[in-house]
Amino acid sequence: MARKHKKRRTHVEEDTQEKTGGEKVPKSFVIRRGKVPALVRELIKDTRRMMSPYCALKLKERKSNNLKDYVALSGTLGVSHMLCFSTTELGTYLRLAKMPRGPTLYFKVEEYSLSKDIAASQRRPHSPGTEYLVSPLIVLNNMQ
C-alpha cells in the first residue's frame, strides 16, 4: 500500500512581530484627495517608495473613494497610518493620520525635491536596486 503524501508548507508567512521584537510593524497608505498636479503625483510615488516595504505601493485611487473607505480597509489590512496629500490654490498640504481613530496632524508642504530631480542634478546618479526592499534603520544613539 502506498504512503499518503503530506503537503509541505510552500508559502512561508513573514512573521513581522518576531523581527521587531514582538511589536507590530506599522503599515501605511499614501493617498491623494481631490485634483493634484503631476508633480505632486510624483511626490506621492516617491513617498510610497520611501515608506516601502510596509506601504501599499500600487494603491489604486478612484474619485468615488471616501476617507471612510480607507479607514474601513485599514482594519482588515492592518494599516496603522495614512498620509493624505491635497492641493488648494494656496499650496500643497499633507495630513498624517493614525488609524483608525487619530490623532491627525496637518502640514503645509513648503518645498520638496523629487527623486528624479536629485538624480538629474548628480554627476553619476545611483539607480536604486534593493534599497527599497528593506525598511530603513534609524540610529538615534548620542543624538542631542
Cell match 478612484: residue? 62
Alpha-carbon torsion (28, 68, 45, 85), positive or negative: negative
Displacement of CA 21 from its chain's centroid (Å): 22
Question: Rounded mean pLDDT of 119-128?
Answer: 86
- Residue 139 forms part of a structural domain: no
- Residue 14 forms part of a structural domain: no
Give residue 102's region: left, alpha or beta (phi > 0; psi -120 to 50): left
Domain count, the chain: 1
Q: What is the pLDDT of residue 14?
A: 59
Question: Rounded mean pLDDT of 6-21?
Answer: 64
Under 8 Å CB-to-CB from 76, ≥6 apart: which residues? none
- Residue 137 forms part of a structural domain: no
- Residue 8 forms part of a structural domain: no
- Residue 101 forms part of a structural domain: yes
Q: How far apart are CA 135 and CA 118, in angstroms?
A: 21
> What is the span of the domain harbouring residue 68?
23-110
Q: What percentage of the chain exceeds 70 in pLDDT?
A: 92
Mean pLDDT in the chain? 86
- Residue 141 forms part of a structural domain: no
Q: What is the pLDDT of residue 9?
A: 74
- Residue 15 forms part of a structural domain: no
Q: Is the predicted pLDDT of residue 85 greater than 70, yes or no? A: yes
Q: What CATH number does the domain containing 79 carry?
A: 3.40.50.800
